[in-house]
Amino acid sequence: MTNSNFMAFPDGFLWGSSTSGPQSEGIIEGDGKGDSNWDFWYRTSPELFHHQIGPERTSTFYENYQNDLKLLKETGHKVFRTSIQWSRLIPTGRGEINFKAVEFYRNVFKEVNVLGIKLIVNLYHFDLPYCLQEIGGWENKEIVFAYEAYAKECFRLFGDLVDTWITFNEPIVPVEAGYLGKFHYPAKVDARAAVQVAYNTQLASSLAVKACHQNNASHRISIVLNLTPAYPRSQSHEDIKAARIAELFQTKSFLDPSVLGEYPKELVEILSEYGLTPDYTEEELVIIKENTVDFLGVNYYQPLRVQAPQKNKEFDMVTPDIFFEHYDMPGKKMNPHRGWEIYEKGLYDIGINLRDHYNNIEWLVTENGMGVEGEEKFRENGYIIDDYRIEFIKGHLIELHRAIAEGTNCKGYLLWTFIDCWSWLNAYKNRYGLIELNLTTEERIIKKSGYWFKELSEQNGFLNTKES
């Protein structure tokens, strides 16, 4: 027997997608852009990048934005999130403005407004001007105030076109990948540096919130966090503790100060116990306390499954590995193309957590999506039949719908991403877009999911059919 029902979302619910400047714009001669950390890393170590494809190509949005933005309408967008590249706007990180960048961004933002699409602009998506990396990057507190000045310039230059802002996208990722792993530059393992980078980033975010409100009190500003619920292997005391500490590091280290204005007491105690307390002042803590975000962006792809670390394991230095380790849960549902677990209920759990522990703050799903390697094998009659992506989205929306019905304050769902884009060390290995990008011809072709997404947006929901 089949039970069919329509999953209707609240009036005014926003449907759209997210992208970023460094992953979509590309670089052309004479555009005035300065080097970012990614530009430098690719130029010096191209072998680290999949098929040695670097950020100079991406999806050529800089040259093709007018036609690309029209595709937003063709895929039903009500909202669009992109970012400004700091290294494009201020090539040396501090000082002189690149007015070619001002013209480009103003043209993009005007066009989105003309299309009647809600615009959300992010200030930082993993892309630090390299000249600032040369003086220590986010380990150096000077960068905090350089970022504050950059944010103020953005509010001044584009505030007549943009009223909704984001300070940082997934700030924990550069901490983990750049200072506890080797997937972002500077690709080193240094727990003390990681903690200082995290603190400096949070301080910078709070200063941007303050500047935004001072520039225009009616403008709203957020931070985008990849909230990854930590699920313990078992209900043993050791595994539950491991999951709790994992969430302290991965989630609450930015969620609590951004939304509540304070760091979790247990996290502070752990850092103090291991001699990892960052350089800070009481005045800075007041800035963080008094400048919380207006709403929250949430990126969700997969859960974090953890267990207590092996008791006989030896560690060379203090890293999160001494508190918890990954647990490979048998029988989990997988995206076989990307190697990530698919756990739709995680989105429900996030929503209920925000409802119950974070003042039911207004939030958006700012990224959710399914990366697929070798997606061309699913092409039929000239376009990609990505039913797997449609089912992925539906599964997550069912859980989001349930959380909204139970009172969580979610206002929209943004997919990653609208056109296949370049993705850091993975380059174009995994495709996420509603629209296919042909790397050879630069042709854009709407996938089946793009047409379905338009129906989803127009109907403000979808028909959920499941066996019962």
* Placement of tokens 């937003």 in the chain: 72
Residues 29, 30, 33, 34, CA torsion sign = positive
What b/e readout covers 56-92, taking b as 16+ CB neighbours within 10 angstroms? eebbbbbebbeebbebbeebbbbbbbbbbbbbbbbbe
Q: Which pLDDT belongs to residue 1?
A: 33
The DSSP line for 40-73 is HHHHH-GGGSGGG--TTTTT-HHHHHHHHHHHHH
Task: Show me where the domains of the chain are located.
Answer: 2-467
pLDDT at 468: 36
The DSSP-derived string for 75-141 is: TT-SEEEEE--HHHHSTTSSS---HHHHHHHHHHHHHHHHTT-EEEEES-SS--BHHHHTTTGGGST
Fold of the domain built from segment(s) 2-467: TIM Barrel (3.20.20)
- Write the pLDDT tens digit of every residue in 371-401: 999 899 999 999 999 999 999 999 999 999 9
For residue range 403-412, what is the model confidence (pLDDT) as tens digits?
Answer: 999 999 999 9
* CA proximity to 193, closest of 137, 245, 248, 264: 137
Q: What is the pLDDT of residues 169-205, one digit of tens each?
A: 999 999 999 999 889 999 999 999 999 999 999 999 9
Active-site residue flag, 262: no
pLDDT at 182: 86
* Other beta carbons within 10 Å of 120: 27
pLDDT for position 174: 95
Q: Is the dihedral of CA 233, 234, 236, 240 positive or negative?
A: positive
Among residues 170, 247, 284, 375, the one annotated as catalytic is 170
Kindly give, in sequence order, each residue whose CB lies less than 8 Å from that of residue 464, ignoring residues fewer than 6 positions away: 4, 5, 6, 7, 394, 398
- The average pLDDT across 143-150 equals 98
H or E segment and range at residue 168: strand 164-169
User: How many CA atoms are closer than 13 Å to the CA of 63, on its beta-carbon side?
Assistant: 13
Q: Which two tokens stand for residue 385?
A: 């039949």
Q: Distances from the Cα of 432 to the Cαs of 20, 78, 369, 381, 388, in angstroms?
A: 13, 19, 6, 20, 12
From the list 245, 255, 151, 137, the residue with the least C-alpha distance to 202 is 255
Percentage of the chain beyond pLDDT 90 is 82
Answer yes or no: are the C-beta atoms of 450 and 444 closer than 8 Å.
no
Alpha-carbon torsion (258, 224, 129, 276), positive or negative: positive
Q: Supply the pLDDT for residue 313.
A: 61
What are the structure tokens assigned to 15, written together?
């449907």
Examine the pLDDT at 206 and tell me if it is beyond 80.
Answer: yes
Pairing state of beta strands 79-83 and 164-169?
Answer: unpaired
Structure-token match 């100060």, residue found: 257
Give dist(CA 417, CA 80) in Å, integer: 10
H/E element holding 17? strand 14-18
Give me the chain's average pLDDT, please: 93
The radius of gyration of the chain from alpha carbons, rounded to an integer in Å, stands at: 21
For residue range 280-321, what is the model confidence (pLDDT) as tens digits? 999 999 999 999 999 999 999 999 999 998 876 665 667 788
What is the percent of the chain with per-residue pLDDT over 70, rounded to a whole number? 97
CA angle, 418 then 152 then 200, to 5° = 85
So what's the pLDDT on residue 2?
43
Question: Can you give the pLDDT at residue 192?
Answer: 93
5 phi and psi angles, rounded to 5 deg: -150, 150
Q: Is 33 exposed, middle or buried (0-12, 13-18, 19+ CB in 10 A)?
A: buried
Residue 287, judged by CB atoms within 10 A of its CB (0-12, 13-18, 19+), counts as middle
Which is catalytic among the residues 176, 367, 375, 436?
367
Instruction: Tell how strand 14-18 and strand 410-416 pair up.
Output: parallel
Beta strand ranges found along 255-399 (DSSP E): 295-299, 304-307, 325-326, 334-335, 340-341, 363-367, 372-373, 379-380, 383-384
Tell me, yes or no, if 436 is annotated catalytic: no
Name the DSSP letter for residue 231.
E
The four Cα atoms 21, 22, 25, 28 give a dihedral, to 10 degrees, of 140
Contact 153, 90 (CB under 8 A): yes
Count helices and strands (H / E) in the chain.
16, 21
Instruction: Report the alpha-carbon angle 32-94-208, nearest 5.
Output: 110
pLDDT digits (tens, 9 = 90+) for 411-437: 999 999 999 998 888 888 899 999 999
Assess whether pLDDT exceeds 50 at residue 3: no
- Angle, nearest 10°, between helix axes 265-273 and 237-247? 100
